[in-house]
Every structure is written in C-alpha cells, then in structure tokens.
C-alpha cells in the first residue's frame, strides 16, 4: 500500500505549478469591504432588511434546531433569530421564503488553492470570468470563507482585493501565499516546469532566509504560512523532511504576528517536523505511513493533541489521485480505511477537524463525496462544526462568524435537504449568503 500511495502523492501538485503562470500586474489598491455597496449592486437600499423565513435553522452544531424559523438581517449582520410565531418581519424586508429548506452558518473551506486557469492574472482578468470561476469552485457549494494554502501571493491578494472592493461577489479569502520547500526539496513533479519557465525558487536553505521571506509575505498581507514538512522528491530519498530549525523559523515568524502555520506532512517524518516546529494545522492525513491499517497510534495522537493541532482530512483527494494514476480499487480501499481511522480517532480524542477539499488542485468541485467519506468518521454535527465553528475559532473569527446568532455576520447557507438525515445534504446548496447578500443561488 505504501508504494501505491507514494505513486498517488508523487504527482500531488502537478497542477500546483500553474500558479507560476500568473503574470500579475500592479495589485489593486485595498478598499475596505462595503456592505452598502454590495447591497446597491443587488438593487436594495443600504438600510434594507433581509428576512429568511420558514427554514429549519441549525444555529450551531451543539444548539437546538429552530423549526419554522426566521433570521432577520440588517446591514450585513444578524439582528434577530427565532421562531416565526415569535417574530414580526418588517414590511420593508426583502423576504426569502425558505419553507422546506435548512439554514446553517456559512461554510469554510480551509484547504483551497486559488490557481485554476480562470483565476490566474486576477489583477487584470475580467470580473465576470473571475466570478464565474469562484462560483463554480466555491460559492456554489456554500463557502463564504476560504483559506488558500499555497498559490501565488500576488495573485491571491489581487483576487481578494477585487472581491472586497465589491467588484466580484465571492467568499472572504484568507491566504498563505507562496509555500516553503526545504533545500533540495522542490517536489519532483514541478522541477521541469520551474526550469522551463524561469519561475522563482521557493526553497529555503537557512533559518534566516526562511524567516525573512515569511516576513515579506506576511508584510504583503498574507494570513499565515505553509511549509512542506515532508516534500516528495522521489528516488531513494522519497520524502525529504524540512530541517527543524528552518521550519521553526518560518512558523515562529507567523506566530509572532498571530498568524497560523500549515504543514504538508506526507509521512511520519513530516509529521514529526510539523509537531516539533510548532505547526498549527495539518493540511492532510498521512496515509502513506505512520499509522498502519488502524490509523495513527495512540501515542502519536497524544502528541498531536498536546500541541493543539488541527487536521484537514481532504478525503476525496485520494480517490481522485487513484483514478488519475490507475491505482487498484484494493489500494484505494486500504488508503481510505487508514484515513478514516485517523480522522475518527483524532476527533474522538478531542482533536479539531477542519473541512477542506484541496479544490484548485483537484478539479472535483462537488463536495458530495467528501461529506460521504467524512460521515464514516464523524457524525453530522461534527461535520457542521468542521465547516463553521471550528475554523472560526481556529482562525480568530469566533466572535462574529460560525454561528447564527444576534450580532453575528450574516454569512449563511440555505440547503435543499437536512444534513441530520443525510450528511451529503451539506452539498445541496440553495443559496450562499455573505454579509446578508445572496452571492450564489436561486434567490439571488
């Protein structure tokens, strides 16, 4: 199984090289988010109310549902939540009749890559092209906030500026910008491309160099860092771990600014680098090794928990890669068994799970399969937490995102189905609402 999984991961980021194609012009100047401007685009006055009426509301993963509920929104924030019997809808409100639907807080995708062809050159690309790409990849699936964890710093920031300026209807974008590879650890699957196109070298060879580049990227406005704690280089080495002192220099620079650090671990050695350097979030499980058929051993789980690390499963990824590289159904089944055990055991031990799909590298935008696979490890409430309260807490937004409650941001998802009965209903999105504005869906 290890050999098969190594082949699966050996082309892990071939598409990832695409972000070097982005020839970015001057970055559009930062303009604060303006809810009034967003409402004017929709044809509503800035002070207009939005009322979502009749939905079954799940205010939070651990909260009692509200049947036949109403959420009242004003100026991008939730001002009242309750049952229809207990509330009066203002006559001036724009009403969404949500009878038969389920309403949750807006979803987070904590592992995306903003490097699909239509998202490149974001500073100069047509707004319609960018919006169509964001809809197809993200907002169509309920994502009101995303964390881009490896792309082009310039391109991600340019795209974010255009969304926040109100030019494009899209999710809130957080980004780590360019990733960090160990010296001699540029992944084997991007080397030829980098040589052919004269792309910048993302390897770091000393702690000083690593910290300086991390500082430059964070100064540009990135929201964290991403290290390849274990980089796939092929040959006899296979996976090259990053030096601890270099990894720690990058992570420390992020932590000094209150920003999170992600790691691509690949295997047990990469996991150890992530733990010892203080990484906050594992971008994947480690099905290649480190767990065996039963997943991670209890002592490893205890170490991860002691460091308060979060885990992003990206379970669909393995099936995508297996199909691409013609792996046997038996090898894939074994990998899924390992991944499921790792996710289930870590969650059971109190570890934080964050929803993420690796979309932008994989071109499977539909999230149905991810929910189906996750449901073998987590119940529907835990999946909802991974989409809402967990990332909001992990990334410092819990005071105003992740729950449906008075005063919270009106980031909401209206579903055509009840995930309590079928977790794949999380993928049956009727409307995606950001700051009180329908940015995708039937009621836009």
Question: Over the stretch 155-188, which tens digit does the pLDDT of each residue have?
Answer: 999 999 999 999 999 999 999 999 999 999 877 7
Distance CA 262, CA 395 (A): 12
How far apart CA 240 and CA 34 sit, in angstroms, is 45
For 125: left if phi > 0, alpha if psi spans -120 to 50, otherwise beta; the answer is: beta
**Nearest residue to 175 (alpha-carbon basis) of 148, 193, 201, 136:** 148
Which residues are CB-neighbours of 85 under 8 A, at least 6 positions away? 68
User: What is the biggest distance separating any 2 CA atoms in the chain, rounded to whole angstroms?
Assistant: 71
Is the per-residue pLDDT at 298 higher than 50? yes
Same fold, 2-30+108-378 and 33-105+399-444: no
DSSP 362-427: B-----HHHHHHHTTTS-HHHHHHHHTHHHHHHTT-TTTSSS-STTSB--EEEESS-TTT-GGGGG
Q: How far apart are CA 159 and CA 130, in angstroms?
A: 8
- The residue among 284, 260, 254, 231 whose CA lies nearest residue 111 is 284
pLDDT given at position 370: 98
The domain covering 33-105+399-444 belongs, at the CATH homologous superfamily level, to: Urease, subunit C, domain 1 (2.30.40.10)
Sketch the domain layout of the chain as residue ranges: 2-30+108-378, 33-105+399-444
Whether residue 7 is predicted with pLDDT greater than 80 in this model: the reply is no
d(CA 121, CA 17): 14
pLDDT over 60 (residue 9): no
Q: How far is CA 242 from CA 174, 183, 263, 272, 284, in A?
A: 25, 8, 10, 10, 17
What residues contact residue 299 under an 8 Å CB cut-off, 6+ apart? none
Range of weakest confidence among 2-6, 196-200, 203-207, 243-247: 2-6
Going by C-alpha positions, the residue among 333, 339, 240 that lies closest to residue 284 is 339
In which band, very low, low, confident or very high, does the pLDDT at 238 lie, cut at 50, 70 and 90?
A: confident
From the list 75, 140, 74, the residue with the least C-alpha distance to 107 is: 140
End-to-end CA distance of the chain: 47
Query: Which pLDDT score is estimated for 11?
Result: 43
pLDDT tens profile 388-421: 999 999 999 999 999 999 999 999 999 999 999 9
Other Cβ atoms closer than 10 A to 87:
15
| Chain mean pLDDT for the chain | 88
- Measured CA angle at 107 (ends 102, 112), to 5 deg: 145
Architecture of the CATH domain 2-30+108-378: Alpha-Beta Barrel (3.20)
**The residue to which tokens 């509330």 are assigned:** 87
- Sequence length of the chain is 444
Class of residue 3 by CB neighbours under 10 A (exposed 0-12, middle 13-18, buried 19+): exposed
User: Is 241 within 8 Å of 269 (Cβ atoms)?
Assistant: yes
Rounded to whole angstroms, the Cα distance separating 40 from 31 reads: 16
By DSSP bridging, strand 143-148 and strand 181-182 are unpaired
Query: pLDDT digit string (tens) for 299-352?
Result: 999 999 999 999 999 999 988 878 877 888 898 898 899 999 999 999 999 999
């Amino acid at each position: 199984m290890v050999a098969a999984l190594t082949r699966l991961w050996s082309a892990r980021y071939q598409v990832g090289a695409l972000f070097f194609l982005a020839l970015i012009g001057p970055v559009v100047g930062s303009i604060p988010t303006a809810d009034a401007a967003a409402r004017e685009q929709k044809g509503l006055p800035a002070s207009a109310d939005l009322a979502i009426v009749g939905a079954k509301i799940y205010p939070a993963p651990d909260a009692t549902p509200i049947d036949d509920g109403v959420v009242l929104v004003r100026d991008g924030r939730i001002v009242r939540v309750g049952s229809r019997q207990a509330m009066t809808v203002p006559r001036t409100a724009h009403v969404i009749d949500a009878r038969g639907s389920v309403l949750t807080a807006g979803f987070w995708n904590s592992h995306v890559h903003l490097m699909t062809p239509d998202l490149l050159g974001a500073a100069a690309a047509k707004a319609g092209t960018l919006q169509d790409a964001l809809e197809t990849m993200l907002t169509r699936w309920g994502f009101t906030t995303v964390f881009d964890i490896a792309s082009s710093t310039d391109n991600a920031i340019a795209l974010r500026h255009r969304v926040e300026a109100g030019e494009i209807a899209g999710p809130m974008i957080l980004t780590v910008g360019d990733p960090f590879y160990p010296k001699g650890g540029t992944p084997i699957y991007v080397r030829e491309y980098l040589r052919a196109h004269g792309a910048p070298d993302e390897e770091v060879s000393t702690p000083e160099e690593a910290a300086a580049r991390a500082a430059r990227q964070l100064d540009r406005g990135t929201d964290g860092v991403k290290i390849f704690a274990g980089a796939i280089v092929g040959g006899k080495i296979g996976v090259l771990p990053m030096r601890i002192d270099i990894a720690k220099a990058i992570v420390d620079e992020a932590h000094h600014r209150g920003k999170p650090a992600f790691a691509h671990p690949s295997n047990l050695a990469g996991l150890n680098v992530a733990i010892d350097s203080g990484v906050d979030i594992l971008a994947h499980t480690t099905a290649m090794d480190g767990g065996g058929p039963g997943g991670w051993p209890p002592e490893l789980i205890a170490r991860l928990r002691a460091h308060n690390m979060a885990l992003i499963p990206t379970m669909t990824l393995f099936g995508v890669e297996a199909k691409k590289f013609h792996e046997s159904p038996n090898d894939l089944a074994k990998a899924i068994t390992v991944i499921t055990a790792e996710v289930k055991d870590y969650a059971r031990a109190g570890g934080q799970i964050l929803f993420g799909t690796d979309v932008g590298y994989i071109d499977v935008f539909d999230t149905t399969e991810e929910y189906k696979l996750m449901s073998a490890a987590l119940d529907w409430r835990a999946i909802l937490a991974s989409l809402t309260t967990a990332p909001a807490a992990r990334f410092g937004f819990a005071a105003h995102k992740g729950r449906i409650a008075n005063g919270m941001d009106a980031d909401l998802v209206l579903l055509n189905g009840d995930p309590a009965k079928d977790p794949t209903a999380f993928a049956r999105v009727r409307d995606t609402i950001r700051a009180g504005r329908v940015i995708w869906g039937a009621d836009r």
